[in-house]
Structure 1
Amino acid sequence: MAEQDRGAAEIREGFAFDQARLETWMRENVDGFAGLRGVQQFSGGQSNPTYLLLGQERDYVLRRKPPGPLLKGAHAIEREFRLISALHPSGFPVPQPRGLCEDADVIGTAFYIMDHVKGRNFWNTAFPEVPREDRAAYFDAMNATIAQLHTIDPVSVGLGDYGKAGNYFERQIGRWSRQYLGDEEAGRVPALDALIEWLPANIPPGDDTSIVHGDFRCDNLLFHPTEPRVVAVLDWELSTLGHPLADFAYHLMVYRMPPGFSTGLLGIDLQAEGIPSEADYIAAYCRRTGRDRIDRLDFYLAFSLFRLAAIIHGIKGRMLRGNASSPDAAKAVAQLDSVAELALAQIGTSA
């Protein structure tokens, strides 16, 4: 069933911290904080461990960097905090930020605190918990939310310098290629090697820039408890200024994935299940963002799947080093080769 608290349960081994020190810090830095009743850890999140803080008067969420050795530039929770602090006053659905602590002496790593938003969280993109006649409305809510994000002027919300302008694909392909090649413990993947060759030579023209989430999926959204409305977008670790079609294609790629494969929709009778077609979903996004169409969709999907495979490769490295933050890490890593091959399938290439 859909989970209101995204699987919050006991803190997993290796991820506990000194709760008394946290409580002292919150009393000094979080307005209105009145003490803790307990702490739980969410089951989701492959990268930054996330906790439910049960407060005396309200509940909070804590996001921290994982313990152990980290790759340079990864787990930038300070950027996440800046992002939600900028978006919250604009009316975009993010939790209210409450405080950032960069002092690792408090709980062992840097962390930030935000309000806990009550809502429904869905792990399956087909929304099986929702009546068939309501599913299209949930898809439309996702579509409206990502389109809203891509139409926010970064400068107007103080994020004009949140990322580099221009050459987004060139820079991203380079970044993920370096991270992949630099993690020697995780090994090589032939399909990723092939993508590293193909993608830089096939970047489409055009250089649009918007705020991008980087991991916009249904399981990173909280919906209203009873309505098809997004009340919070979560997990902003990969956010930056970038090309909106990269962000949208990453969100769209579930249409190209088979069921059981990151809860993909490929092969499902979408009409029978009350789910909009890929073409209709693209058309709705284009209407909301002022586009006539999306050319070169094959590139955007191949790039998005390449990036996903590189992320999974990083999870594999963290798992081998003993600091993967989710019990589902092994399950994700088992899909690494398949995700990379699926990326190649978008461009009619095989390793």
Structure 2
Amino acid sequence: MTGAQPRTPKGLEVGLEAVAGWIREAGDDVAAPLAAQRIGNGQSNLTYLLTDVEGRRWVLRRPPLGHLLQSAHDVAREFRIMSALQGTGVPVPRVLGLWEPEGVAHMIMGFLDGYVVDSVEKGEAAPPELRGAIGPSIARTLARIHAVDLEESGLVALASHKPYAERQLARWAKQLAASRTTESADLDRVTEILAASLPAQSDLTLVHGDLHLANAICDPGTGEVVGALDWELSTLGDPLADLGTLLAYWPESDDGLRPWGVFGASSLPGFATRAQIVEAYAEASGRDVSDAGFWHVLGVWKIVAIIEGVRRRVLDLPDNASLGGVPTEEMVHMLSGRALSLAREYGLPKA
């Protein structure tokens, strides 16, 4: 119908006129009416692309609907971190502001154009030189994140300075217990192995917590990361935790895993191997990476905990389901078995 106002998508709840007002308040020109659509395969915070009638674009993030676990989905904290990183050399989107209607945090940031491998099809469409460049570029981006001066950025008080491995195990075990939907002896065994394998903390840095293919906007020509997204899990901790997370989300063709969504793209010919990613990170950061195995296993275990959280939220409120669908119980078992196999390969727990 001519002149009809764009419909606010499910889950956004706040009116688009109010959102346009926020953008003007932040100093950007906006030609109403705005259109909004849910984007991304993320199953956590809800993300929307905003477009005005002149084609200008922004991105809005807000927490998922329904009951949330304590400390999870903290958009205000994500805003604080991304604001602190402006001008540091870490590639992050421009942040406009934070608004909290009815106590619910809504962050708006600038739209970054680029190539995101958020499906196997996008991986297949990438030319060989782009495939090979992305993994090492993400590793170098991690090194830049870990080089951020905590005092100068104002992030030194972001989180506890206590040993990170213990903190991570305790936090995610608690999250897993609160959202468990699937019984898995392999998952229980991995939890025990991790508890018996905690490494000494090598350093205390800013940690992204979730940087992988789908959270990296890359230059379509060079593969260099131009935007690191989704900072909600960011904290202070051991930098090798980020390397382990990247490895956990980087399956290879001979891993024996059936395709599991976007992350199967890295198993396509031409993408860097995990060994090449570790090498790129070690070279860019100058750090000892001998404990990367523990963090790799912890990363896979955390993916299972995240999947269980997603399954629980969708069971409780189906509107939280993303466009990518809902993780299956089979995926929980598959990745739990993968984590246990990796623990054995790395010789965990070490005597």
Q: Provide the TM-score with structure 1 as the length reference.
A: 0.85
Query: Quick one: which of 165, 168, 193 aligns to 2:161?
Result: 165
Matched, 1:302 2:297: yes
Q: Does structure 2 conserve the Cα–Cα contact (< 8 Å) formed by 1:147 and 1:288?
A: yes
Q: Does structure 1 conserve the Cα–Cα contact (< 8 Å) formed by 2:46 and 2:64?
A: yes
The residue type paired with residue 221 of structure 2 is: T
- Relative to 1, partners in 2 of residues 1:342 and 1:241: Cα closer, same or farther, differing over 3 Å? same
**Bigger shift: residues 253-262 or 84-93:** 253-262
Q: % of aligned pairs identical? A: 32
Q: Does structure 2 conserve the Cα–Cα contact (< 8 Å) formed by 1:124 and 1:218?
A: no
**Bigger shift: residues 328-337 or 141-150:** 328-337
Query: Quick one: which of 5, 12, 15 aligns to 1:18?
Result: 15
Instruction: Say which SS state the counterpart of residue 335 (structure 1) adopts.
Output: helix
State the match for 1:319 in structure 2: 314
State the match for 2:50 in structure 1: 53
Matched, 1:191 2:186: yes
State the match for 1:3 in structure 2: none
Cα distance in structure 2, aligned partners of 1:24 and 1:171: 40
- Relative to 1, partners in 2 of residues 1:195 and 1:49: Cα closer, same or farther, differing over 3 Å? same
The alpha-carbon deviation at position 300 of structure 1 amounts to 1.5
Matched, 1:118 2:113: yes
Q: Residues 200-231 of structure 1: CA distance to partner in whole angstroms, max 9, x if unpaired?
A: 22112234211111111111111124332211
Q: Which runs of 5+ in 2 are unaligned?
A: 1-5, 346-351
Q: Residues 267-288 of structure 1: CA distance to partner in whole angstroms, max 9, x if unpaired?
A: x5x8xx3333332321221111
Superposed counterparts of 1:1-351, under 5 Å: 13-27=10-24, 29-36=25-32, 37-55=34-52, 58-104=56-102, 109-124=104-119, 127-183=123-179, 186-253=181-248, 254-255=250-251, 257=255, 258=257, 260-262=259-261, 263-264=263-264, 273-291=269-287, 293-322=288-317, 323-331=319-327, 334-348=330-344
**Bigger shift: residues 310-319 or 155-164:** 155-164
Cα distance in structure 2, aligned partners of 1:14 and 1:284: 40
Q: Which runs of 5+ in 1 are unaligned?
A: 1-8
The alpha-carbon deviation at position 244 of structure 1 amounts to 1.0
- Relative to 1, partners in 2 of residues 1:104 and 1:33: Cα closer, same or farther, differing over 3 Å? farther
The alpha-carbon deviation at position 187 of structure 1 amounts to 4.5
The alpha-carbon deviation at position 157 of structure 1 amounts to 1.2
Q: State the Cα RMSD in Å.
A: 2.6
Q: Does structure 2 conserve the Cα–Cα contact (< 8 Å) formed by 1:101 and 1:110?
A: yes
Q: Does structure 1 conserve the Cα–Cα contact (< 8 Å) formed by 2:219 and 2:226?
A: yes
Instruction: Say which SS state the counterpart of residue 209 (structure 2) adopts.
Output: coil
The alpha-carbon deviation at position 72 of structure 1 amounts to 1.6
Q: Does structure 2 conserve the Cα–Cα contact (< 8 Å) formed by 1:51 and 1:63?
A: yes
Cα distance in structure 2, aligned partners of 1:138 and 1:171: 30
Instruction: Say which SS state the counterpart of residue 114 (structure 1) adopts.
Output: strand
Q: Residues 165-211 of structure 1: CA distance to partner in whole angstroms, max 9, x if unpaired?
A: 13111011001111111235x25433222222221221122342111
Q: Residues 250-296 of structure 1: CA distance to partner in whole angstroms, max 9, x if unpaired?
A: 10221455361353479x5x8xx3333332321221111112x4224
Q: Does structure 2 conserve the Cα–Cα contact (< 8 Å) formed by 1:220 and 1:233?
A: yes
Instruction: Say which SS state the counterpart of residue 102 (structure 2) adopts.
Output: coil
- Relative to 1, partners in 2 of residues 1:43 and 1:275: Cα closer, same or farther, differing over 3 Å? closer
Q: Does structure 1 conserve the Cα–Cα contact (< 8 Å) formed by 2:117 and 2:123?
A: yes
Q: How many residues align?
A: 331
The alpha-carbon deviation at position 327 of structure 1 amounts to 3.2
The alpha-carbon deviation at position 162 of structure 1 amounts to 1.2
- Relative to 1, partners in 2 of residues 1:329 and 1:194: Cα closer, same or farther, differing over 3 Å? farther
Cα distance in structure 1, aligned partners of 2:201 and 2:17: 52
Q: Does structure 1 conserve the Cα–Cα contact (< 8 Å) formed by 2:124 and 2:265?
A: no
Q: Does structure 2 conserve the Cα–Cα contact (< 8 Å) formed by 1:53 and 1:59?
A: yes
The alpha-carbon deviation at position 94 of structure 1 amounts to 0.5
Cα distance in structure 1, aligned partners of 2:96 and 2:329: 34
- Relative to 1, partners in 2 of residues 1:70 and 1:276: Cα closer, same or farther, differing over 3 Å? closer
Q: Does structure 2 conserve the Cα–Cα contact (< 8 Å) formed by 1:64 and 1:110?
A: yes
Cα distance in structure 2, aligned partners of 1:34 and 1:123: 28
Q: Does structure 2 conserve the Cα–Cα contact (< 8 Å) formed by 1:215 and 1:235?
A: yes
Q: Does structure 2 conserve the Cα–Cα contact (< 8 Å) formed by 1:259 and 1:265?
A: no
Q: Provide the TM-score with structure 2 as the length reference.
A: 0.85
